[in-house]
């Protein structure tokens, strides 16, 4: 999931030079906005199971936000209903705040 999320973040930031020649995560902290970097940090779980569920919910939410932004920028449609269902399925106490 992280690889796909990193690639989406790069696409949103317009940092797709060497797209296929490098790891999408390499140097990501320098290529995305500080807002997105903070959101990405919330996707990294601690060692406990609750933290893992919260991180999964954060990944789903961030992926939905980035997909929406990229779709709008490039005038493409995307399944927002599916994103809403995935967000609902992964909702946790921490992710609903």
Task: Break the chain into its structural domains and give their ranges.
Answer: 2-14+25-89
User: Quick one: pLDDT at residue 61?
Assistant: 95
- Predicted local confidence at residue 84, as pLDDT: 93
Tell how many helices (H) and how many strands (E) occur in the chain.
5, 0
pTM: 0.85
pLDDT per residue of the chain (97 residues) written in tens, 0 to 9: 888 999 999 999 999 887 778 888 999 999 999 999 999 999 999 988 889 999 999 999 999 999 999 999 999 998 889 999 999 998 866 555 4
Token output for 74: 């490039």
R_g of the chain, CA atoms, integer Å: 14
What pLDDT, on a 0 to 100 scale, did the predictor assign at position 1?
Answer: 85
């Amino acid at each position: 999931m992280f690889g796909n999320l990193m690639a989406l973040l790069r696409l949103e930031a317009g940092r797709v030079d060497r797209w296929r020649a490098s790891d999408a995560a390499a140097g990501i902290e320098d290529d995305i906005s500080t807002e997105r970097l903070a959101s990405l940090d919330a996707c990294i779980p601690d060692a406990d199971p609750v933290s893992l569920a919260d991180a999964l919910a954060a990944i789903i939410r961030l992926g939905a936000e980035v997909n929406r932004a990229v779709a709008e920028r490039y005038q493409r449609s995307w399944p927002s209903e599916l994103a809403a269902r995935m967000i609902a399925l992964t909702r946790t106490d921490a992710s609903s705040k």
